[in-house]
């Protein structure tokens, strides 16, 4: 798909023009291969052809680009090309102070940004050895679990959308919009709520949020059940997700999978239990696991987690104590030197952050570990041998979010 | 292959080492390089300051202003049908199904049940740029994505419109100072409607699209007057 | 995210590794520390530290592969999950930092491969243990220029493949530090235009801060040196 | 296309700038002018009467061809509003499934929005990608659209209302309907785009493998009817619901419906234009009016397939219940003769028209005004006028329905066909998409054997019934 025959703009650089149309039509990069893997991938056997998905494609969520090497309809090999949304967040965080880092990490996970904005907060608190007021902790857990539900609702819809169903994504969006509006009433911002603060949260629970929450809890998950009615007993959906992209325990560990893809293989690894943080030790919930490890298991796991999150929200609303929501901190925050590693469970898996401070008001290094970045590379492992249509099903069942992957 | 790789990285490492000793003189008087990206308010800005290679849009630019090919058959039947066509176009805007980053969520949310863009015939989202009318650039535009985005824009048939959604696309937003982002998409492509906000609410997007409808209806006949390329004045 | 006026610029020094003050830290698993010292004490480059819920060992790049294999496959440790792989630039040397999780201990284990020279930083790849580390290593290579020997696919993953310089190194200055950046105000899309035949030369695509755009005698030489470098032939478009 | 036009003459550039519509209209204008000049010349030279006579002779010689062409043109014109109607249904029904409102700005309840979409597509820039095979690329949409339209030619809408009545109508339908896949293949191959190529090949594979069950499913009907003529097939179902073939051939009806869904490329078999896999399938590179052709052809196909299902299995124009016994019960002879003979009152007719209408309008307006007294008299009179027209047209249509049986037949036919279209759209809103191997496996492993079974059972049943009748 191009408008020029002789000179075509390179995919990577708008200044570069590649002179042979074949290079663009075959999605071959306009430079000689630099690694073994690249040379092996971009050399075609007989009957194979390369097809270029993205960076703008309906079913690569965001600007992921995947080069498929196909033989007929069957995928022989594939090569994901990232970086189309690389915004250099880590570098920017080093150049702003710790408070700036909150708003810079916010858009990473733009479906569940309540999690990504917790990165600098938790790191700084760990470096400061800071005790967060318990009410603030409870409010955080409340916001996190609400956001987890909205993210999972979107996941279900997207999986169905990539399988060709039009409707479930809209039901998921209804649920998501309700929750996000609810959180907007709490935080004041719709999608990227800058709510968490070092030492607490930005504002206390207000009446509008609580009334919306109570209204929603009454029929919580109703539309998600509508989605399931559309999907669960649907023969086509089940046949298209069963035994698709199956990962076993050993492979999952070797591929550094976390979150639902790991739990779908039967390993009950959830940071909320493996390394309890915040007030999760005081709450009662289970870690749902499955053993099949295929797309269907991942989908069902998300539904179970939605139920667990509803359970957690119920407990939080009953146990939340009174008290302050911010710890006493100096205005110009100088974090003592040291290294800290924190991890917490985001909807897509273990969100980690590794912070180094040199005693100034700015982080010396803030490493952001995004789970879907490590989950996504499993696609290259499990997809070959499936059909083109299955590539979408596997990718969306791993639930990649390009904002977090590309940072 | 291993050796080859080594040499490459040695090169780059040396480059980095050279930069490590930045001359202290630059602290006193930093030298600002004049950028062609700013001043160009002409088709040249399409590929960074060079006259464009022939695309159908560049060819439109070569045309004498006033009458260009957007009326199709009505070129030979000059009537008041411009009013009708503008009305049709304003009321059937097919957006391109492309989202870059966070704002894409709000764009989808604007198309879904709660606030329904379909009421204004801004549906369906076309997956192929050949059939799209308006390109909603939703999200941060990185330098790596700029090329594909420009190609998407060139693949869309005239008449077409571009809506810059979100602060990142309007001005660079919170990632303005990153090493990998474009400070506003109007450096690389024409923009009709700017929708600020980080992210703008779906209602904001719908309001912007309604403004675009007014723009389309109001701009009948003067199509060729649209400036192609950056609309940012120099020195901003 | 500009800095408020009147606020002094942060002195960007080298990282000084202060010893963790044990008064405020709460080491959780001391047995792990003893086991580590007993099992691979000879391969460690420094003392085993413990703070919060994290135990930290430092190894040289030579011992890294053996240490990681032992940590993963020794039934006494069983660090099965590679939680994170990250590069660090301390301003003097580069480091690669691994975080591991084991079902046998409540602690995180942090393994620091220390002392990589800036000019030619090399560590063995651990993709033979965790295949999932491949992209992590690609990212570390892209951001820091660390070469992981044994990684089959060590390409740039974020930046364009013809990008020069490594963004997360401390000597890569953002235009944000306007007072100190030689490439101040230079943005990728704004770089001056050259004739089409020289367009593939990496000089024109050097990132802000690499100084190749600054009109100065020293930098002119740098430009000349770079254009003469053999690696540039890789930038040419395919035939 | 743009490549040659670079900096060349004044003529070629406006020509390239024309959309497809323009490229069609401009030569027509020229031809029109030329013909006028020629006619004037002939008239001046006195040859005109002879020419007219010769033309009339030629036309009279082959009336069949003329009739065929006229019918084809009429059908071609009919398909456009049908497509608009079904597109509007699709938008609204899917919006309803999605809990949305759907388009409601243009026209009453947004009824005109599909028209706006269609006309806008006509005026978009018409674009041919470099590297495309230009003639094939240009002809593909035409082939697809014409294949769809020509099949509609043999569909009997109502008694005496059909485009062209063939003895082999069913055969013609399948033969010409099979041409559409050629157009899809042309589009997919000539676009010089891999998504298009995949879409075209998927279309070919799917449609070719579903032609088989589609044809085998109706063999049972052919056995029962003993004719390939669609009118005969419909007439053989006259009576009540129990006489329709969906009762006598339920398996055949099911197979035909599934295979028709796959033929029309509708969800869950819409692999040819699977948005989430291959961007827009064979239509990826098409813009402007050519894409409009594909867009229309899809919905015309939907209508044709539901129309054929109606004709074959739902009794065509027959009412679902038998009206004659009811009429006989009330001693109403059909067709009812017009009680009022306008010719009888020659002068009174004027009085009726001059006085009757205003009086009735006044009465109706008064009633409206009494109901809503806050309205002004003028307003209520206008409403009265509208009511009067409604009344009159209702009476007229009722008179037509009683006297001309094709009106009521058309009503039943369209009701059934559009109901089926709505069902297609409902499936699209609800179901996900199958995979290509599941598609083929379903066709070859399930539908074809089931269709064969259907044929055998039907034939056996016919033999048994025949023999019983013989024994009696």
Q: Which residues in chain A are contacts of C197 at CB distance < 8 A? A: none
Residue where a domain terminates, one of B11, B46, B62: B62
Residues above pLDDT 90, as percent of chain D: 8
**D228: pLDDT strictly greater than 70:** yes
Residue among C84, C156, C159 minimizing CB distance to A354: C84
Chains A, C: CB contacts within 8 A come to 168
- How far are the Cα atoms of A34, B1, C132 from residue C127, in angstroms, in the given order? 19, 18, 7
> What is the residue-averaged pLDDT of chain A?
84
Residues of D in contact with A59 (CB under 8 A): 275-277
Do residues C88 and C97 lie in contact, with contact meaning Cβ atoms separated by under 8 Å? yes
Q: Which of D277, D278, D428 to substitute to test the interface with A, most A CBs within 10 Å?
A: D277
Q: Which of B74, B75, B119 sits opposite D104 (nearest CB)?
A: B119
Pick the closest to residue C210 from C239, C169, C179, C238 (CA basis): C169
**CB-based contact A330:A135 (threshold 8 Å):** no
Hey, which bits of B60-113 come out as E strands?
none
What is the spatial distance between Cα B135 and Cα B161, in angstroms, rounded to a whole number?
6
pLDDT in tens, D332-385: 665 555 555 666 666 777 777 788 888 888 888 888 888 877 778 888 888 888
Class level of CATH domain A89-406: mainly alpha
- d(C-alpha D380, C-alpha D364), whole Å: 8
Is D275 in Cβ contact with B75 (below 8 Å)?
A: no
For residue D396, what are its two tokens?
């007229």
Beta carbons of B186 and B164 less than 8 angstroms apart = yes
Mean pLDDT of chain C: 68
Per 3-state DSSP, chain B is made up of helix, strand and coil in percentages (nearest 5) of 50, 10, 40
Does the bond joining B124 to the residue before it have cis omega, within 30 degrees of 0? yes
Task: Answer yes or no: is B112 within a domain.
Answer: yes
Contact A87 B181 (CB under 8 A): yes
Count of structural domains, chain B: 2
Tokens representing D312 are 């074959």
Token pair belonging to C107: 């602690």
pLDDT digits (tens, 9 = 90+) for A69-82: 888 888 999 989 88
Q: What is the pLDDT of residues B111-136, one digit of tens each?
A: 888 888 888 888 778 888 888 889 99
Which overall architecture, per CATH, does domain C30-149 show?
A: 2-Layer Sandwich (3.30)
Q: What is the pLDDT of residues D428-444, one digit of tens each?
A: 888 888 888 888 889 99
Asked if B168 and B207 sit in the same domain, the reply is yes
Residue B233 belongs to some domain of the structure: no
Note whether D186 and D143 are within 8 A (CB): yes
Span A367-378, average pLDDT: 91
Interface contact B9, partner C, CB < 8 A: yes
Cis-peptide into D268, omega within 30 deg = yes
Residue B18 domain flag: yes
Of D99, D202, D270, the CB nearest to A174: D99
Q: In terms of domains, do B24 and B110 share one?
A: no
> Which structure tokens are listed for C202?
């990496």
In a domain, B236, yes or no: no
Res C181 pLDDT > 80: no
CB D102 within 8 A of CB D92: yes
What SS3 class is residue D309? Answer: helix
Put simply, the answer to whether C237 touches A19 (Cβ < 8 Å) is: yes
The answer to whether the CB atoms of D431 and A390 lie below 8 A apart is: no
Record the pTM. Answer: 0.78
Does A20 have pLDDT greater than 50? no
With beta carbons less than 8 A apart as the criterion, state whether C8 and C179 touch: no
Q: Contact C95/C113 with Cβ under 8 angstroms?
A: yes
User: Would you tell me how many other CB atoms lie within 10 Å of the CB of residue D38?
Assistant: 11
Average of pLDDT values for D204-219? Answer: 88
User: Interior CA angle at D20 toward D16 and D22, to 5°?
Assistant: 75
Rg of chain B, C-alpha, whole Å: 21
Do B72 and B170 lie in a common domain?
A: yes
Q: Where along chain C do its domains lie?
A: 30-149, 188-234
Is the bond into D335 cis (omega within 30 degrees of 0)? yes
pLDDT band at B173 (very low <50, low <70, confident <90, very high): confident
Categorize the per-residue pLDDT at A118 as very low, low, confident or very high, splitting at 50, 70 and 90: very high
d(CA B126, CA D284): 10
Q: Do both B191 and B96 map to the same domain?
A: yes
Nearest C-alpha neighbor of C55 from the set C102, C114, C94, C93:
C102
Average pLDDT, chain D: 83
CB contact under 8 A, A354 and C97: yes
CB distance from C152 to chain A under 8 Å?
Answer: yes
Q: Do C180 and B26 touch, CB atoms closer than 8 A?
A: yes
A·B CB contacts under 8 A: 137
Query: Residue C111's pLDDT is what?
Result: 92
pLDDT at residue C85, as a whole number:
92
Per-residue pLDDT band for B97 (boundaries 50, 70, 90) equals: confident
Q: Could you give the maximum distance between any two Cα atoms of chain B, in Å?
A: 70
Residues A11-32, mean pLDDT to the nearest whole number:
52
Instruction: Return the residue of C nearest to A360 by Cα.
Output: C10
Q: Which residues of C touch A104 (CB under 8 A)?
A: 1
Residue D464, token pair as written in the block? 């048994």
Asked if residue D195 lies in contact with residue D281, where contact means CB atoms within 8 angstroms, the answer is yes
Please provide the DSSP assignment of A248-259 as one string.
Answer: -HHHHHHTT--S
pLDDT surpasses 90 at D402:
no
Which chain A residues have a beta carbon less than 8 Å from that of D277? 59, 388-389, 392
Look up the CATH number of the domain holding residue B127: 3.40.50.12280
Domain boundaries, chain A: 8-81, 89-406
Q: C108 and A362 in contact by Cβ < 8 A?
A: no
Q: Which residues are A18's β-sheet partners? A: A8
Q: What is the pLDDT of residue A29?
A: 67
CA-nearest residue to B96 within chain D is: D279
Confidence band of D271 (pLDDT split at 50, 70, 90): confident
Q: Is A295 exposed, middle or buried (0-12, 13-18, 19+ CB in 10 A)?
A: buried
Indicate if the pLDDT at residue A17 is higher than 90: no
Q: What is the pLDDT of residues D4-36, one digit of tens each?
A: 444 445 566 667 666 677 778 888 999 999 999
- From A218, D374, A90, select the one nearest C144 (Cα to Cα): A90
pLDDT band for A182, please (50, 70, 90 cuts).
Answer: very high
Q: Which of B40, B26, B203, B39 is nearest to B109 (CA)?
A: B203
Percent share of chain C, pLDDT over 90: 7
Burial C35-65 (b: 16+ CB within 10 A, else e): bbeeebeeebeeebbbbbbbbbbbbbbebbb
How is chain D split into domains, by residue range? Answer: 14-61, 77-325+407-471, 343-403
The answer to whether B34 faces chain C, any CB pair under 8 Å, is: yes
DSSP assignment of A100-154: HHHHHHGGGGTTSHHHHTHHHHHHHHHHHT----HHHHHHHHHHHHHHHHHHHHH
Does C136 contact B at CB distance below 8 Å? no
CB contact under 8 A, A170 and B112: yes
**What's the CA dihedral at D27, D33, D37, D43 to 10 degrees?**
110
pLDDT digits (tens, 9 = 90+) for D295-323: 888 888 889 989 999 988 888 888 777 76
pLDDT, tens only, A277-295:
888 888 888 899 998 888 9
The answer, yes or no, to whether residue C100 has pLDDT greater than 70, is yes
Strands, sheet with A349-357, edge to edge from the N-terminal-most edge strand: A338-346, A349-357, A363-369
Q: How much is the average pLDDT of A30-56?
A: 80
The per-residue pLDDT for D9 is 53
Reported as a pLDDT band with limits 50, 70 and 90, residue C188 is very low
Other beta carbons within 10 Å of D48:
14
Helix (H, G, I), strand (E, B) or coil at C123: strand
CA distance B161 to chain D (A): 13
- For tokens 């389309």, the residue is B216
Query: What is the pLDDT averaged over residues C197-225?
Result: 35
Give the model confidence (pLDDT) of D440-463 as tens digits.
Answer: 889 999 999 999 999 999 999 888
Pseudo-torsion of CA B74, B78, B82, B85, nearest 10°?
Answer: -20
SS3 of residue D130 by DSSP: coil
**Nearest one of B202, B101, B93, B121 to A403, comparing CA atoms:** B101
Determine the straight-line distance between the first and last CA of chain B, rounded to whole angstroms.
47
pLDDT at C233: 33
B92 burial level (CB within 10 Å; 0-12, 13-18, 19+) = buried
Nearest to B219 by CA among B44, B70, B12, B100: B70
* CB-based contact D129 A3, cutoff 8 Å: yes
Q: Clarify whether residues B127 and B83 are in a common domain.
A: yes
Question: What would the mean pLDDT of B73-85 be, rounded to a whole number?
Answer: 57
pLDDT band (50, 70, 90) for residue A316:
very high
Q: Which two tokens stand for residue D366?
A: 């008064």
CB A278 within 8 A of CB A137: yes
Strand arrangement of the beta sheet that strand A65-71 belongs to: A49-53, A65-71, A74-81
Q: What are the backbone dihedrals phi and psi of residue A338, each rounded to the nearest 5 degrees, phi first?
A: 155, 180
Classify the complex by whether its ipTM is higher than 0.95, answering yes or no.
no
Give CA–CA dist D253/C164, Å, rounded.
Answer: 67
**Residue D346 φ then ψ, to 5°:** -75, -50
Domain that holds residue B52: 1-62
In this complex, the chains that touch C, judged by 3 or more CB pairs closer than 8 A, are A, B
| B-contacting residues in C 166-205 (Cβ below 8 Å) | 166-167, 169, 171-176, 178-182, 184-193, 196
pLDDT confidence bin for C99, thresholds 50/70/90? very high
């Amino acid at each position: 798909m191009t408008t020029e025959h002789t000179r075509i703009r390179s995919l990577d650089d708008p200044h570069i023009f590649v002179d042979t149309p074949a290079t663009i039509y075959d999605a071959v990069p306009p430079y000689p291969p630099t690694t073994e893997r690249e040379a092996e991938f971009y050399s075609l056997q007989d009957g194979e052809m390369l097809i270029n998905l993205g960076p703008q494609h309906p079913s690569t969520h965001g600007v992921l680009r995947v080069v498929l090497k196909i033989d007929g309809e069957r995928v022989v090999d594939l090569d994901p090309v990232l970086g189309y949304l690389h915004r250099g967040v880590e570098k920017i965080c080093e150049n702003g102070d710790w408070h700036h880092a909150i708003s810079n990490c916010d858009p990473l996970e733009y479906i569940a940004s309540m999690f990504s904005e917790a990165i600098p907060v938790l790191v700084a608190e760990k470096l400061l050895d800071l005790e967060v007021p318990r009410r603030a902790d409870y409010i955080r857990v409340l916001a996190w679990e609400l956001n987890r539900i909205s993210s999972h609702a979107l996941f279900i819809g997207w999986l169905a959308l990539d399988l060709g169903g039009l409707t479930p994504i809209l039901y998921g969006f209804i649920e998501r919009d309700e929750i996000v509006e609810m959180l907007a009433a709490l935080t004041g911002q719709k999608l990227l709520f800058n709510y968490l603060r070092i030492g607490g949260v930005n504002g206390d629970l207000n009446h509008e949020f609580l009334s919306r929450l109570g209204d929603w809890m009454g029929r919580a998950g109703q539309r998600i059940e509508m989605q399931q009615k559309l999907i669960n007993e649907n023969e086509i959906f089940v046949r298209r997700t069963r035994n698709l992209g199956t990962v076993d325990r050993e492979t999952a560990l070797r591929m550094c999978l976390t979150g639902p893809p790991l739990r779908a293989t039967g390993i009950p690894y959830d940071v909320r239990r493996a390394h309890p943080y915040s007030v999760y030790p005081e709450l009662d919930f289970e870690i749902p696991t499955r053993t099949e490890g295929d797309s269907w298991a991942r989908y069902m796991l998300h539904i179970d987690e939605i139920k667990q999150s509803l359970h957690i929200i119920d407990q939080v609303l009953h146990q939340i104590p009174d008290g302050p929501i911010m710890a006493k901190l100096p205005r110009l925050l100088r974090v003592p030197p040291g290294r800290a590693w924190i991890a917490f469970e985001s909807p897509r898996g273990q969100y980690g952050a590794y912070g180094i401070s040199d005693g100034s008001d700015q982080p010396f290094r803030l490493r952001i570990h995004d789970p879907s970045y490590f989950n996504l590379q499993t696609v290259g492992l499990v997809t070959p041998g499936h059909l083109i249509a299955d590539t979408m099903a596997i990718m969306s069942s791993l639930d990649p979010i390009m904002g977090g992957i590309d940072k | 292959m291993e050796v080859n790789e080594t040499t490459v990285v040695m090169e780059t490492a040396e480059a980095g080492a050279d930069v490590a000793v930045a001359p202290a003189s630059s602290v006193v008087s930093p030298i600002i390089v004049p950028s062609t990206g700013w001043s160009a308010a002409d088709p040249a800005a399409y590929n960074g300051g060079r006259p464009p290679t022939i695309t159908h849009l560049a060819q439109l630019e070569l045309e004498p202003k006033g009458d260009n090919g957007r009326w199709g058959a009505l070129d030979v039947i000059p009537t008041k049908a411009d009013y009708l066509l503008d009305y049709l176009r304003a009321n059937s805007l097919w957006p391109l199904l492309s989202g870059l980053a966070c704002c894409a969520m709000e764009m989808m949310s604007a198309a879904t049940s709660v606030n329904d863009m379909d009421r204004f015939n801004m549906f369906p989202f076309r997956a192929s740029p050949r059939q799209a009318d308006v390109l909603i650039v939703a999200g941060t535009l990185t330098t790596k994505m700029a090329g594909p985005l420009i190609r998407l824009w060139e693949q869309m048939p005239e008449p077409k419109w571009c809506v810059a959604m979100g602060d990142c696309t309007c001005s660079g937003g919170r990632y303005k100072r990153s090493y990998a982002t474009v400070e506003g998409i109007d450096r690389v492509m024409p923009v009709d409607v700017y929708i600020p906000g980080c992210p703008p609410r779906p209602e904001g997007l719908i309001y912007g699209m309604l403004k675009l409808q007014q723009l389309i209806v109001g701009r009948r006949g003067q199509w060729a007057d649209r400036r192609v390329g950056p609309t940012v004045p120099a020195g901003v | 995210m500009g800095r408020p006026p009147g606020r002094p610029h942060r002195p960007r020094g080298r990282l000084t590794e202060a010893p963790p003050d044990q008064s405020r830290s709460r080491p959780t698993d001391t047995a792990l520390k003893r086991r580590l010292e007993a099992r691979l004490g000879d391969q460690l480059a420094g003392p085993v530290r413990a703070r919060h819920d994290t135990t930290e060992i430092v190894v040289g790049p030579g011992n890294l592969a053996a240490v990681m294999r032992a940590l993963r496959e020794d039934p006494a440790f069983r660090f099965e999950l590679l939680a994170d792989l990250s590069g660090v630039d301390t301003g003097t040397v580069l480091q690669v930092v691994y975080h591991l999780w084991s079902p046998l201990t409540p602690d995180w284990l942090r393994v620091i491969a220390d002392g990589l020279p800036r000019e030619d930083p090399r560590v063995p790849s651990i993709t033979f243990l965790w295949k999932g580390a491949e992209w992590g290593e690609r990212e570390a290579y892209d951001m820091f220029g660390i070469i992981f020997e044994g990684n089959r696919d060590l390409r740039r993953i974020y930046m364009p493949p013809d990008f020069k310089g490594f963004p997360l190194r401390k000597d890569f200055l953002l235009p944000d530090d306007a007072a100190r950046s030689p490439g101040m105000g230079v943005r990728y899309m704004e770089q001056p235009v050259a004739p089409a035949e020289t367009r593939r030369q990496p000089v024109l695509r050097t990132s802000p801060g690499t100084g190749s755009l600054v009109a100065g005698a020293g930098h002119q030489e740098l430009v000349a040196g770079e254009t003469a470098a053999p690696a540039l032939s890789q930038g040419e478009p395919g035939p | 296309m743009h490549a040659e036009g670079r900096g060349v003459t004044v003529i070629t550039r406006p020509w390239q700038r024309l959309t497809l519509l323009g490229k069609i209209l401009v030569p027509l204008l020229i031809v029109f002018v030329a013909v006028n000049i020629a006619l004037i010349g002939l008239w001046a030279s006195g040859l005109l009467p002879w020419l007219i006579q010769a033309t009339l002779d030629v036309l009279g010689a082959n009336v069949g061809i003329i009739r065929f062409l006229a019918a084809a043109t009429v059908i071609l014109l009919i398909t456009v509003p049908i497509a608009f109607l079904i597109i509007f249904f699709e938008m609204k029904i899917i919006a309803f499934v999605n809990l949305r409102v759907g388009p409601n700005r243009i026209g009453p309840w947004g009824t005109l929005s599909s028209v706006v979409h269609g006309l806008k597509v006509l005026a978009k820039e018409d674009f041919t990608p470099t590297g495309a095979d230009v003639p094939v690329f240009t002809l593909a949409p035409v082939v697809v659209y014409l294949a769809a339209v020509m099949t509609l030619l043999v569909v009997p809408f109502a008694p005496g209302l059909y485009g062209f009545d063939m003895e082999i109508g069913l055969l013609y339908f399948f033969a010409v309907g099979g041409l559409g896949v050629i157009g899809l293949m042309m589009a997919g191959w000539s676009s010089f785009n891999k998504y298009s190529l995949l879409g075209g090949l998927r279309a070919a594979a799917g449609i070719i493998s579903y032609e088989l069950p589609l044809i085998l499913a109706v063999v049972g009907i052919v056995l029962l009817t003993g004719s390939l003529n669609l009118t005969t097939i419909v007439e053989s179902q006259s009576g009540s619901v129990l006489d329709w073939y969906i009762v006598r051939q339920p398996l055949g009806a099911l197979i035909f419906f599934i295979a028709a869904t796959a033929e029309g490329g509708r969800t869950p078999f819409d692999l040819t234009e699977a948005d989430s896999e291959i961007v827009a399938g064979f239509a990826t590179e098409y813009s402007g009016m050519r894409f409009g052709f594909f867009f229309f052809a899809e919905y015309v196909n939907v209508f044709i397939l539901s129309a054929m299902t109606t004709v074959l299995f739902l009794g065509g124009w027959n009412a679902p219940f038998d009206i004659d016994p009811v009429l006989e019960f009330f001693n109403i002879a059909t067709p009812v003769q017009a009680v009022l003979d306008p010719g009888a009152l020659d002068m009174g007719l004027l009085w009726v028209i001059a006085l009757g209408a205003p009086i009735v309008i006044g009465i109706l307006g008064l009633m409206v005004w009494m109901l809503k007294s806050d309205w002004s008299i003028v307003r209520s009179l206008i409403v009265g006028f509208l009511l009067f027209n409604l009344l009159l047209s209702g009476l007229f249509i009722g008179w037509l329905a009683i006297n001309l049986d094709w009106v009521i037949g058309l009503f039943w036919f369209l009701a059934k066909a559009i109901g089926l279209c709505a069902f297609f759209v409902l499936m699209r809103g609800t179901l996900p998409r199958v995979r290509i191997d599941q598609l083929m496996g379903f066709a070859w492993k399930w539908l074809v054997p089931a269709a064969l079974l259907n044929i055998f059972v039907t034939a056996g049943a016919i033999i048994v019934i025949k023999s019983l009748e013989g024994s009696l």
